[in-house]
Amino acid sequence: MFNKVKQALGSEKTEIGQGELRPVVIPRQEHNISRNDISDNALKVLYRLHNAGYDAYLVGGCVRDLLLGLKPKDFDVVTNATPEEIKKLFRNCRLIGRRFRLAHIVFGRDVIEVATFRGHHEPSENTQHLSRQSDEGMLLRDNVFGSIEEDAQRRDFTINAMYYNIADFSVTDFAQGMQSIQQRRIELIGDPETRYREDPVRMLRAVRFAAKLSMDISDEAGRVIPKLASLINSVPPARLFDEVLKLLASGNGVSTYQLLKEYRLFEPLFPQLQPLIKQPDSKENQFVVKMLENTDERLNSGKRITPAFLYAAMLWYPLEERSQQHQVEGGFNAHDAFNLAINDVLHRQQQRIAIPKRFSLPMRDIWQMQHRLGKRFGKRPYQMLEHPKFRAAYDFLLLRSEVEGGELIELAQWWTEFQDVSHEVRRKMVAKLNRGGKARRGGRRRGPKKAKSDS
Q: Cα–Cα distance between 115 and 148 in angstroms, integer?
A: 11
* pLDDT tens per residue across span 198-224: 999 999 999 999 999 999 999 999 999
Q: What is the pLDDT of residue 336?
A: 95
DSSP label of 25: E
pLDDT of residue 6: 44
Please tell me the distance from the alpha carbon of residue 42 to that of residue 377, in angstroms, as a whole number. Answer: 57
CB 219 within 8 A of CB 45: no
Residue 183 burial (CB count, 10 A):
13
Could you say which of 1.10.540.10, 1.10.3720.10, 3.40.50.300, 1.10.3090.10 is the CATH number of the domain covering 307-440? 1.10.3090.10
Section 167-183 average pLDDT:
95
Supply the pLDDT for residue 436: 64
How far apart, in whole angstroms, are the C-alpha atoms of residue 54 and residue 49? 5
Beta bridge partners of 57: 78, 165
Look at the domain 1-183 and name its fold: Beta Polymerase; domain 2 (3.30.460)
Cα separation, 395 vs 323, in Å, equals: 22
CA atoms within 13 A on the CB side of 250: 24
* CATH 1.10.3090.10, the chain: domain bounds: 307-440
Q: Which residues of 324-362 are buried (b: 16+ CB within 10 A; e: fewer)?
A: eebbeeeebeeeebbbbbbebbbeebeebbebeeebbeb
* pLDDT (0 to 100) of residue 136: 52
pLDDT digit string, tens, across residues 383-412: 999 999 999 999 999 999 999 999 999 999
246-295: per-residue pLDDT in tens?
Answer: 999 989 999 999 999 999 999 999 999 999 999 999 999 999 999 999 99
Lowest mean pLDDT among 144-148, 259-263, 359-363: 144-148
Residue 2: predicted pLDDT: 45
Q: What does the pLDDT read at residue 131?
A: 45
Return the pLDDT at 3. Answer: 47
pTM of the model: 0.83
Spatial separation of the C-alpha atoms in residues 367 and 371, rounded to whole Å: 8
* Amino acid present at 290: K
Per-residue pLDDT reduced to its tens digit, 132-144: 454 554 444 456 8
Distances in whole angstroms, Cα of residue 96 to Cα of each of 79, 102, 120, 330: 16, 5, 21, 48
CA atoms of 117 and 75, how far apart (whole Å): 16
- Which pLDDT does position 186 carry in this prediction? 97
* 126 has a pLDDT exceeding 70: no
Distance CA(189)–CA(118), nearest Å, equals 15
DSSP string, 110-123: EEEEEEEPB-----
Distance CA 269, CA 306 (A): 19
Intervals of CATH 3.30.460.10 along the chain: 1-183
pLDDT band at 21 (very low <50, low <70, confident <90, very high): confident
Q: What is the largest CA-CA distance in the chain?
A: 112
Beta strands in 134-270 (DSSP E): 139-142, 162-165, 171-173, 185-186, 216-217
The pLDDT, as a whole number, for residue 4 is 44
Q: Supply the residues annotated as catalytic.
A: 74, 76, 156
The whole-number pLDDT of residue 97 equals: 82
Q: Where are the beta strands (DSSP E) in 145-289?
A: 162-165, 171-173, 185-186, 216-217
> Could you tell me which residue, 131 or 310, shows the higher pLDDT?
310
Percent share of the chain, pLDDT over 70: 86
- What dihedral do alpha carbons 33, 38, 42, 43 form, nearest 10°? 70
- pLDDT value at residue 135: 52
The pLDDT value given to residue 55:
97
Q: What is the pLDDT of residue 119?
A: 83
130 pLDDT higher than 80: no
Mean pLDDT of 47-58: 97
DSSP 8-state assignment for residue 421: S
Q: Is 198 left (phi over 0), alpha (psi -120 to 50) or beta?
A: alpha
pLDDT tens digits for range 328-359: 999 999 999 999 999 999 999 999 999 999 99
Residue 449 has pLDDT above 70, yes or no: no
Lowest-pLDDT range, 17-21, 123-127, 238-242, 373-377? 123-127
Torsion of CA 156, 268, 197, 113, to 10 degrees: 40
| Ranges 10-14, 54-58, 116-120, 383-387: which has the least confidence | 10-14
Percent of the chain at pLDDT exceeding 90: 80
More confident residue, 22 or 266: 266
pLDDT score, position 122: 57
Region of poorest pLDDT, from 127-136, 227-236, 382-391, 416-425: 127-136
Strand partners, 188: 157
